[in-house]
Amino acid sequence: MPDSKPIVLKAGDDAPSFSLVSDSGETIDLQSFHGKNNVVLYFYPKDSTPGCTIEACEFRDASADLNKYDTVVLGLSKDSIKSHQRFIEKQGLNFPLLSDPEAEVCSAYGVFKLKKNYGREYMGIERSTFIIGKNGKIVQAYYGVKVKGHAADVLSVVQGI
């Protein structure tokens, strides 16, 4: 088996490109934001779970301020479009959720990892956020995100771009 090092993206790296279907059925391509918007791309484990709900609601509440800085928010998980639609409706989310059922984009960003819970090991999404500049380069990478106050931290970075 080839020696494979885990992917860890950092500031200055090119953001891996992607094209994924959103909750609205529309395909969202990262390239379409180049030259126009900064992107906050956040990866989360599962719709409608406690931590993911807090994180999504914090980004919902910060999105108007982020928009002032030409910044869009995109949430991404392996959940289905239907699951995303229910989550958006229940929480009043005001940004797209992208579906990555095969974890291809999650893997490209280095967030699909071996996790342990109650003695069980499984592959899952490590809560992570990437701030991507208008030039397509990563401005800030957060792995292993703690939910409370994270959206405010992201906003403070975006204000400095």
Across-strand partners of 128? Answer: 43, 143
> Residue 20: what pLDDT?
97
Nearest residue to 15 via CA among 94, 124, 128: 128
Is 90 exceeded by the pLDDT of residue 4?
no
Give the residue numbers marked as catalytic: 52
- DSSP for 74-85 reads EEEES--HHHHH
Q: What is the DSSP letter of 30?
A: G
Q: Is 113 exposed, middle or buried (0-12, 13-18, 19+ CB in 10 A)?
A: middle
> Residue 104: what pLDDT?
96
Residue 53 belongs to a domain: yes
Residue 82 belongs to a domain: yes
Residue 14 belongs to a domain: no
Which residue is listed with tokens 């703690």? 146
Note down the domain range covering 42: 19-159
Residue 12 belongs to a domain: no
> Residue 5: what pLDDT?
67
Tens of pLDDT, residue by residue over 111-151, are: 999 888 888 898 999 999 999 999 999 999 999 999 999 99
Total of domains in the chain: 1
Residue 4 belongs to a domain: no
Mean pLDDT for the stretch of residues 2-24: 87
Residue 1 belongs to a domain: no
> Residue 116: what pLDDT?
85
Least confident of 20-24, 26-30, 119-123: 119-123
Which residue is listed with tokens 């885990």? 6
Across-strand partners of 112? Answer: 125
CATH number of residue 143's parent domain: 3.40.30.10
Mean pLDDT for the stretch of residues 27-40: 97
Mean pLDDT for the stretch of residues 8-22: 96
Is 60 exceeded by the pLDDT of residue 2?
no
Amino acid at 13: D
Across-strand partners of 153? Answer: none
Residue 11 belongs to a domain: no
> Residue 1: what pLDDT?
41
Alpha-carbon gap, residue 76 to 99, rounded angstroms: 6
Alpha-carbon gap, residue 138 to 40, rounded angstroms: 10
Residue 94 belongs to a domain: yes
